[in-house]
Structure formats: C-alpha cells, structure tokens
Amino acid sequence: MKVGAVVITMGNRPEELRALLDSVAKQDGDPVEVVVVGNGSPVPDVPAGVRTIELPENLGIPGGRNVGIEAFGPSGRDVDILLFLDDDGLLARHDTAELCREAFAADPALGIISFRIADPGTGETQRRHVPRLRAADPMRSSRVTTFLGGANAVRTRVFAEVGGLPDEFFYAHEETDLAWRALDAGWMIDYRSDMVLYHPTTAPSRHAVYHRMVARNRVWLARRNLPALLVPVYLGVWLLLTLLRRPSRPALKAWFGGFREGWATPCGPRRPMRWRTVWRLTRLGRPPVI
C-alpha cells in the first residue's frame, strides 16, 4: 500500500519540522511521499524530495490539511494511506508506516488509525490524547469513535466516500466531524498504542481562540451530524460539563460567545447520522451525547 504524509506548518518551528521529516524519511519499507503545506506562511527549508505548498492565507487546520490531501490527487487517490503529523512531532519508531500498511491490509473495514502521543522527555501520554472515555491506560489499543488530528493515518478511500475535513471549523473538533461521517459510512477507527508520535506536553488552551472555537464548533458538530432529538441532549451535557469544570470568567465569557455563534452562523451541510450509527457509537463506549 502506498503511503503519503501531510504536514501543515506556520513556518515558526523549522528545527522541529526538519526533525519530523527526518523521522518520516527513516520509515521502513517503500518511501513515504511528503507534502508540507505552509498555512499562510513560507515553508522553511526541507529535505530534497519533499513537496511544498505555500498558501497566501491561513486556512486553519482542516483547510490546510485538505489542501495537502488534494496534493495527492482528488481525495488523495494517488496514495492508499495518508499520515497527518503535527510539525512539532516526531515519529518514535521506524516501523510506523509499515504497521499502518499491515493494519489497513488486514482489516478492510478499518478507515482511520489514531496514534499514541507521548512526551519525548517523560514518555507519558496525556489523558486527553487517548480518544475514548476510559482513558486511564494509554497502552491499551482499542476501537474508538474519534481520533487525534496531528497523529493519525487515514485510508484515502474514506475521503473519497465521505469528503474531507470541514474547512469552516478552522480549529477544534474537525476530527470528530470526519470520524462521525466515516463511522456512519461503515468504517471503523482504531487507537494504536504501538504507533507513537513524540510531542511536547502542551495545554490546548494556549491558543487564544480555544474557548470560542471549542464551543462554536461543538454546536456546529451537533447541528451537522446528530439526529434532531440528540442535538439538545448532546449540547446540554457539554454545557453542564463546562460549568462543572469552573473555567475562569474570561474563558467562560469566550465559551458562551462561541456557543451563541454556533447557533447563529452557518455550519455547512447537515447530514444526520443514522440511528444504527448512534447505537454503534454506544456499543463502542461513547454514545453521541457525551
């Protein structure tokens, strides 16, 4: 199976980007073809053979990755598998691409693989980086219902069937939107603890737009994908959880601003999942109300 990789960058981490690209070049098996997308910025120097695309403006995470997908032909059809890697990450092992080939070849229903993210210094995996509710043991691989955006592999047939990431989201929850559409189309998602991306431990709230985007896109996610009966349940649960976490007053103000924005602005096409997909998500341990 032919493997490609998409990396988006804002050009501000040239050393980390070079280290990531070196780790991709060292993968066992056939070479991985790499495209680096400069998301509204020039691309730093990259090794020979790495393709680059420089966008005149920042299209956000999903928009930048979609440009990378299309660089491999419509819906990425020139390759069988696409890796999506954060530009400050690093593949910990040389066999990750081979493990992806083996996993997708062995399971025709497998559409997406979520890698384990580990801190390069401590080796620890943050709970939020394990894409399931029972996240206490990050070393346990399992079927899951979503995946990590900067550390994953996608069978390109998924994009051909359900489309790419939602451009309008810009940042936050774009992976879950794609995951729900893929699951509704019959694909499965695996979390694999043996496929590791080293990445420094960070807090998502470091981004100035975090609280607004998280709330707005949560509403969009529900409006786009959930049966009408579940939309108020899902959003009500997340409203309660947000209040229980007792964010700061400025964070809460930004969150409610984003929540209102999610209802007042267009969210893209609505394609509610089937009820059998709701049951499927429930059997996988995460009903789409949590």
pLDDT in tens, 188-227: 999 999 999 999 987 776 556 899 999 999 999 999 999 9
Determine, yes or no, domain membership for 140.
yes
The reported pTM is 0.96
Tally Cβ neighbours within 10 Å of residue 147: 24
Average pLDDT estimate for 269-283: 97
Report yes or no on 289 lying in a domain.
no
Q: What is the CATH number of the domain that holds 58?
A: 3.90.550.10
Evaluate whether residue 188 is within a structural domain: yes
pLDDT (0 to 100) of residue 202: 79
Q: Are residues 121 and 63 in the same domain?
A: yes
- pLDDT of 119-146, one tens digit each? 999 999 999 999 999 999 999 999 999 9
Confidence category of residue 176, pLDDT binned at 50, 70, 90: very high
Is the pLDDT score of 245 beyond 80? yes
39 plus 148 within the same structural domain = yes
pLDDT at 53 over 90: yes
Average pLDDT, the chain: 96
- Residue 5, phi then psi, degrees to nearest 5: -140, 140
The pLDDT-based confidence of 281 (bands split at 50, 70, 90) is: very high
pLDDT of 290 reads: 86
Contacts of 134 (CB under 8 A, 6+ apart): 285
Which of 167, 184, 202 is the C-terminal boundary of a domain?
202
My answer on whether 32 and 168 are in the same domain is: yes
| Residue 94 belongs to a domain | yes
Q: Which domain holds residue 45?
A: 3-202
Assess whether 11 and 128 both reside in one domain: yes
Average pLDDT over every residue of 268-285: 97
- Work out the average pLDDT over 27-42: 98
**In the chain, % of residues over pLDDT 90:** 96
Residue 232: predicted pLDDT: 97
What does the H/E/C string look like for 218-286?
A: HHHHHHHHCCHHHHHHHHHHHHHHHHHCCCCHHHHHHHHHHHHHHHHCCCCCCCCCCHHHHHHHHHCCC
Q: What is the mean pLDDT of residues 33-61?
A: 97
Residue 290, in any domain of the structure: no
- Residues 55-113: pLDDT tens digits? 999 999 999 999 999 999 999 999 999 999 999 999 999 999 999 999 999 999 999 99
Tally of domains within the chain = 2
116 to 31, 86, 126, 188, 239: CA distances (angstroms): 22, 13, 10, 17, 28
Cα 279–127–137 angle (5° rounding)? 80
Note the pLDDT of residue 206.
55
Residue 245 backbone zone (phi > 0: left; psi -120 to 50: alpha; other: beta)? alpha
Q: C-alpha dihedral over 233, 186, 74, 10, to 10 degrees? A: 50
Nearest to 4 by CA among 201, 168, 154, 227: 154
Query: Cα-atom radius of gyration of the chain, to the nearest Å?
Result: 18
Residue 91: the pLDDT is 98
User: Which residue bears the tokens 């995996």?
Assistant: 125
